């Protein structure tokens, strides 16, 4: 089903340019990162990455152990074990497939397994919709998984390389899931610069598990059963690793810019037209495109609107975000997820943003929007409507804390 | 603030789990007869489904519910009014399934509070087995062998009633004999069990154990590491490789002694230990092969010495040994240390033989658990003897 890649600029420039989907970009990153063990189990939309990896192997471009497991649970267990014996690993899933792997997902951070996974974001069943919702990846938000959202294929490729660099850093050793919106990113092709192998090699050191390597020369037991006398210390260790992650992410983006010449600015969130903005919208993933276009349109009408796109959700850059958002007179958070029964019935992102700003002295009103669920398009009028509500709040008019946008009513 | 009472019941694994629960429940119910609230629970971190492993149940009672709540705010009591050991070999100390090191059986006793043990032994023998305590405490013996009343089917041998009767004498503030008899009668047909409690109430006596009495050894313990001192990734280093043994007589080096976990020894699971006859050993290797705890050290001359720091007392070695009386399981109360039998034998063969014969001469046919069909029925008959003596 995945369209073959089309190399449109082979050999002419310093880098190849390929027309590939977000999934395919991550498959290319796996090849460039020389991943040792990959497991797959098909579920849409994640399976596009499986297909492209299979093609790279079949074409003789990529050499790795490629195992199609009998379930997502086995899929994640296999790479967990492979990582413990020193293999660089890749894995992924979507929607309820990711949920089926949940037990394996929970044990991975505590074992300090730097697994990199792709989540092709998909609505959870029922009703078995294929389209994007972020609830699948967000389900692991409390467990020690690093979570990052990307909004285009180039960023998918780059972030996959950065994810290996961060996850496999001895100070971190935590898994990282890269979220790619189903359809909008997993199934749409864009022009992607493919970095050279030499640059990737200089950016990404080999995976060294050190004293945690399970090997006859380093005889250890991994994951013995332990009781209440040990568990809190183990959790504290995992928490400390997550606390160190933010610094390692910053280092990785700095090195990425130095080696590849491509800058992402602030690694944790992207700011668009925020410099002089009165109000901003905030969201994750590919809804950035309609939001940015709508903002350009609204700016022509004299409305000073900006957009903040969260990349890293775990670790969550709370202080930086609070500083950023404190500059505006109101903030609208667009959740492509739901968190039923949460404070104010908001989505996950809105609740987290409110928490981040809680102790801040400059605390603008924060409106929660539930929008684009199940892959429903976030339209330009939707964005304008949300912006209007945010402006009302900025003007001091009380607004419902959570509103559903784009639902038939 | 009213008065808080705490009682712990230390028991062994699966065959005594229900017994311990029955005792702790009856304590709470008997105290409740007198208007005192209470709770009964088993220590959650234990693994009592394993045969022989030391585990605990607790009964917490108070004169009012606010005081009870203060007692419940600590998950496990830090001090108790009574410790009950329903197997006398527990007097050597207990090591939980968790890594706490070896805990003296009298560890939680308040000054002048009482350790109740079910045993056929004399007080002197039990006092020698218990670790020394910095202040005096009392020892009371309920005469009888350890009760294996079972887990799924509770085979009643009145051990619980006799212990409860003893408590009503030792700590009448907790509950009276009449209260506990009412509780017992509610659960049984006839008065027999309530009479057992009364007999025990009448006959129980205590001796005071002074701080200079008992096992002077300091039980092994270790410090729990801080979170940043622990290896991360839930990894632990393997046990180091073993090393050769050294003959204490002629300094010959050879054989193999495996290195063992220095912080989790498990030997307090043992109620019987194998006694070895090195003169009749044919070096068939079966004990060494079959031991589930790798407890056999290989000596320089190729004999097999059961290491008492590692032996859990399962008796497999005795069962597989093809030579008569070469491996004999003997009750743990016969011994006062974990010294190497092989070293003893090497130093004085005649003396060792005399020691061996004295130990295996009148060995009882039992270990923890049952080794043949019908053993329990035989034991019930034996258990009944002291009760009959009491009844006359």
Chain A residue with CA closest to B47: the answer is: A227
pLDDT on residue B46: 81
Considering the domain boundaries, does residue A202 fall inside one? Answer: yes
Considering the domain boundaries, does residue B368 fall inside one? Answer: no
pLDDT at B378 over 80: no
Put simply, the answer to whether B227 touches A233 (Cβ < 8 Å) is yes
Measure in Å the smallest separation between the Cα of A38 and chain B Cα atoms: 22
What residues of chain A lie within 8 A of the CB of B230, using their CB?
A: 230, 233-234, 237
Facing residues of B253 across strands? B246
Put simply, the answer to whether A112 touches B227 (Cβ < 8 Å) is no
Considering the domain boundaries, does residue B92 fall inside one? Answer: yes
pLDDT at B328 over 70: yes
Q: Are residues B168 and B306 in the same domain?
A: no
CATH of the domain at B107: 3.40.920.10
Put simply, the answer to whether A226 touches B234 (Cβ < 8 Å) is yes
pLDDT on residue A3: 43
Residue-wise pLDDT for B237-290, tens only, equals 988 889 999 999 999 999 999 999 888 888 999 999 999 999 999 999 999 999
Residue with the two structure tokens 């060294």:
A208
Considering the domain boundaries, does residue B381 fall inside one? Answer: no
Q: Are residues B308 and B201 in the same domain?
A: no
Instruction: Please state whether the peptide bond connecting residue B25 to the residue before it is cis, i.e. omega within 30 degrees of 0.
Output: no
Predicted structure pTM score: 0.90
Q: Are residues B85 and B200 in the same domain?
A: yes
pLDDT on residue A2: 41
List the structure tokens of B211: 């701080």
Q: Are residues A249 and A338 in the same domain?
A: no
Last residue of a domain, one of A199, A232, A260: A260
Using pLDDT thresholds of 50, 70 and 90, give the confidence band for residue B384: low
Q: Are residues A169 and A297 in the same domain?
A: no
Q: How far is CA A356 from CA A321, A323, A350, A397, in A?
A: 7, 10, 10, 23
HEC sequence for chain B: CCCEEEEEEEEEHHHHHHHHHHHHHHHHHHHHHCCCCEEEEECCCCCCCCCCCEEEEEEEEECCHHHHHHHHCCCCCCCEEEEEECCHHHHHCECCCCCCCCECCCCCEEEEEEEEEEECCCHHHHHHHCECCCCCEEEEEEECCCCCCCCCCCCCCCHHHHHHHHHHHHCCCCCCHHHHHHHHHHHCCCCHHHHHHHHHHHHCCEEEECCCCCECCCCCCCCCCCCCCCCCCCEEECCCCCEEEECCCCCCEEEEECCCCCCCCCHHHCCEEEEECCCCCCCCCHHHHHCCCCCEEECCCCCEEECCCCCCCCCHHHHHCCCCCCEEEEEHHHCCCCCCHHHHHHHCHHHHHHHHHHHHCCCCCCECECCCCCHHHHHHHHHHHHHHHHHC
pLDDT at B142 over 90: yes
Considering the domain boundaries, does residue A298 fall inside one? Answer: yes
Considering the domain boundaries, does residue A351 fall inside one? Answer: yes
Q: Are residues A135 and A84 in the same domain?
A: yes
What is the distance between the alpha carbons of residues B180 and B23, in angstroms, rounded to a whole number? 11
Put simply, the answer to whether A111 touches B234 (Cβ < 8 Å) is yes
User: What is the span of the domain harbouring residue A169?
Assistant: 6-260
Q: Are residues B143 and B67 in the same domain?
A: yes
Q: Are residues A386 and A332 in the same domain?
A: yes
Calculate Rg over the CA atoms of chain B: 22
Q: Are residues B64 and B112 in the same domain?
A: yes
Measure in Å the smallest separation between the Cα of B223 and chain A Cα atoms: 11
Considering the domain boundaries, does residue A285 fall inside one? Answer: yes
Q: Are residues A251 and A377 in the same domain?
A: no
User: What is the span of the domain harbouring residue B307?
Assistant: 243-262+272-360
Considering the domain boundaries, does residue B254 fall inside one? Answer: yes
Q: Are residues A220 and A305 in the same domain?
A: no
What residues of chain B lie within 8 A of the CB of A220, using their CB?
A: 231, 235-238
What is the distance between the alpha carbons of residues A357 and A327, in angstroms, rounded to a whole number? 12
b/e map A200-238, b = 16+ CB within 10 Å: beebbeebebeebbbeeeeebebeeeeeeebeebbeebb
Q: Are residues B285 and B336 in the same domain?
A: yes
CATH of the domain at A248: 3.40.50.970
What residues of chain B lie within 8 A of the CB of A173, using their CB?
A: 232-233
Q: Are residues A163 and A141 in the same domain?
A: yes
pLDDT on residue A7: 52
Considering the domain boundaries, does residue B50 fall inside one? Answer: yes
Chain A residue with CA closest to B231: the answer is: A212
pLDDT on residue B392: 43
- Check CB contact of A234 with chain B, cutoff 8 Å: yes
Cβ-contact A121, A242 below 8 angstroms: no
CATH of the domain at A285: 3.40.50.920
What residues of chain A lie within 8 A of the CB of B232, using their CB?
A: 112, 173, 212, 237-238, 241
Considering the domain boundaries, does residue A398 fall inside one? Answer: yes
The sign of the torsion formed by the CA atoms of A117, A120, A123, A128 equals negative
Q: Are residues B111 and B189 in the same domain?
A: yes
Can you list the alpha helix ranges (DSSP code H) found in A44-84?
Answer: 47-58, 72-84
Last residue of a domain, one of A219, A234, A260: A260
Q: Are residues A222 and A289 in the same domain?
A: no
Facing residues of A282 across strands? A308, A333
- Total number of domains constituting chain A: 2
Using pLDDT thresholds of 50, 70 and 90, give the confidence band for residue B369: low
Q: Are residues A236 and A319 in the same domain?
A: no
Q: Are residues A250 and A189 in the same domain?
A: yes
Last residue of a domain, one of A229, A260, A291: A260
Considering the domain boundaries, does residue A224 fall inside one? Answer: yes
Considering the domain boundaries, does residue A1 fall inside one? Answer: no
Considering the domain boundaries, does residue B14 fall inside one? Answer: yes
Interface test with A, best of B232, B233, B238, B263 (most A CBs within 10 A): B233
- Check CB contact of A407 with chain B, cutoff 8 Å: no
What residues of chain B lie within 8 A of the CB of A110, using their CB?
A: 233-234
pLDDT on residue B152: 73
Considering the domain boundaries, does residue B78 fall inside one? Answer: yes
- The pLDDT averaged over each successive group of 10 residues in chain A (409 residues) is 46 77 98 98 97 96 97 98 98 98 97 98 95 98 98 98 98 98 96 96 97 95 89 97 98 98 97 98 98 98 98 98 98 98 98 97 97 97 98 97 97
Q: Does the complex come out with an ipTM higher than 0.85?
A: yes
Q: Mean pLDDT over residues B185-202, rounded?
A: 93
Q: Are residues B205 and B257 in the same domain?
A: no
Of B231, B234, B238, the CB nearest to A110: B234
Q: Are residues A252 and A276 in the same domain?
A: no
Measure in Å the smallest separation between the Cα of A344 and chain B Cα atoms: 35
Considering the domain boundaries, does residue A139 fall inside one? Answer: yes
Put simply, the answer to whether A229 touches B98 (Cβ < 8 Å) is yes
pLDDT on residue A13: 53
What residues of chain A lie within 8 A of the CB of B225, using their CB?
A: 233
Considering the domain boundaries, does residue B318 fall inside one? Answer: yes
- Total number of domains constituting chain B: 2
- Check CB contact of A236 with chain B, cutoff 8 Å: yes
Q: Are residues A353 and A395 in the same domain?
A: yes
């Amino acid at each position: 089903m995945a369209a073959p890649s089309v190399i449109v600029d082979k050999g002419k420039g310093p880098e190849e340019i390929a027309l590939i989907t977000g999934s395919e970009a991550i498959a290319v990153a796996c090849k460039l990162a020389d991943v040792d063990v990959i497991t797959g189990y098909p579920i849409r939309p994640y399976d596009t990455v499986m297909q492209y990896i299979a093609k790279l192997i079949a074409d003789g471009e990529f050499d790795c152990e490629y195992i199609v497991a009998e379930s997502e649970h086995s899929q994640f267990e296999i790479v967990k074990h492979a990582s413990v014996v020193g293999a660089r690993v890749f894995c992924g899933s979507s929607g309820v497939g990711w949920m089926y792997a949940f037990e394996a997902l929970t044990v991975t951070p505590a074992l300090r397994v730097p697994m990199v996974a792709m989540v092709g974001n998909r609505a959870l069943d029922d009703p078995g919709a294929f389209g994007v919702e972020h609830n699948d990846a967000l389900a692991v938000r409390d467990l020690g998984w690093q979570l990052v959202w990307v909004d285009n294929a180039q960023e998918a490729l780059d972030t996959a390389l950065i994810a290996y660099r961060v996850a496999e850093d001895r100070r971190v050793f935590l898994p990282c899931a890269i979220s790619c919106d189903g359809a909008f990113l997993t199934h749409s092709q864009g022009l992607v610069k493919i970095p050279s192998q030499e640059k990737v090699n200089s950016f990404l050191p080999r995976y060294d598990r050190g004293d945690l390597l399970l090997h006859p020369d380093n005889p250890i037991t991994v994951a013995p059963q332990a009781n209440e006398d040990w568990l809190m210390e183990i959790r504290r260790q995992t928490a400390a690793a997550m606390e160190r992650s933010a610094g390692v992410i910053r280092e990785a983006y700095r090195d990425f810019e130095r080696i590849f010449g491509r800058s992402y600015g602030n690694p944790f969130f992207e700011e668009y037209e925020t410099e002089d903005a009165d109000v901003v919208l905030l969201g994750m993933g590919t809804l950035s495109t309609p939001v940015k276009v709508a903002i350009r349109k609204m700016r022509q009408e004299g409305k000073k609107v900006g957009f903040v796109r969260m990349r890293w959700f775990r670790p969550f850059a709370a202080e930086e975000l609070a500083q950023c958002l404190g500059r505006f007179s109101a903030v609208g958070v667009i959740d492509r997820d739901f968190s039923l029964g949460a404070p104010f019935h908001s989505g996950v992102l809105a609740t987290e943003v409110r928490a981040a700003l809680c102790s801040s002295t400059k605390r603008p009103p924060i409106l929660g929007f539930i929008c684009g669920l199940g892959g429903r398009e976030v339209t330009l009028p939707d964005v304008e409507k949300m912006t209007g509500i945010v402006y009302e709040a900025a003007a001091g008019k009380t607004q419902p804390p959570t509103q559903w946008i784009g639902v038939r009513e | 603030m009213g008065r808080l009472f705490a009682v712990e019941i230390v028991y062994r694994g699966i065959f005594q789990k229900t017994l311990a629960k029955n005792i702790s429940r009856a304590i709470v119910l008997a105290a409740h007869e007198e208007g005192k609230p209470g709770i009964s629970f088993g220590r959650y971190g234990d693994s009592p489904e394993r045969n022989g492993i030391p585990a605990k149940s607790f009964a917490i009672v108070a004169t009012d519910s606010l005081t009870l709540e203060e007692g419940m705010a600590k998950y496990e009591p830090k001090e108790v009014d009574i410790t009950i050991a329903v197997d006398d070999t527990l007097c050597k100390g207990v090591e939980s399934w968790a890594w706490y090191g070896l805990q003296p059986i009298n560890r939680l006793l308040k000054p002048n509070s009482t350790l109740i043990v079910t045993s056929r032994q004399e007080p002197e023998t039990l006092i020698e087995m218990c670790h020394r305590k910095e202040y005096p405490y009392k020892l009371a013996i309920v005469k009888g062998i350890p009760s294996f009343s079972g887990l799924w089917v509770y085979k009643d041998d009145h051990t619980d009633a006799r212990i409860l009767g003893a408590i009503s004498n030792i700590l009448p503030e907790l509950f009276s004999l009449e209260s506990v008899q009412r509780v017992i009668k509610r659960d049984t047909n006839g008065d027999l069990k309530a009479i057992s409690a009364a007999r025990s109430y009448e006959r129980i006596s205590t001796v005071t154990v002074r701080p200079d009495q008992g096992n002077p050894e300091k039980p092994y313990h270790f410090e729990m590491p801080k979170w940043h001192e622990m290896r991360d990734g839930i990894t632990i280093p393997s046990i180091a490789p073993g090393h050769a043994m050294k003959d204490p007589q002629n300094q010959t080096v050879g054989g193999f002694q495996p290195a063992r976990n220095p912080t989790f020894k498990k030997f307090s699971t043992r109620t019987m230990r194998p006694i070895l006859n090195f003169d009749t050993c044919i070096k068939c290797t079966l004990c060494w092969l079959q031991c589930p705890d790798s407890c056999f050290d290989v000596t320089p001359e190729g004999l097999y010495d059961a290491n008492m720091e590692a032996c859990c007392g399962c008796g497999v070695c005795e069962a597989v040994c093809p030579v008569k009386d070469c491996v004999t399981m003997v009750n743990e109360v016969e011994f006062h240390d974990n010294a190497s039998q092989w070293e003893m034998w090497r130093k004085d063969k005649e003396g060792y033989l005399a020691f061996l014969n004295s130990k295996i001469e009148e060995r009882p046919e039992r270990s923890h658990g049952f080794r043949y069909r019908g053993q329990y029925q035989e034991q019930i008959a034996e258990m009944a003897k002291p009760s009959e003596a009491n009844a006359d």
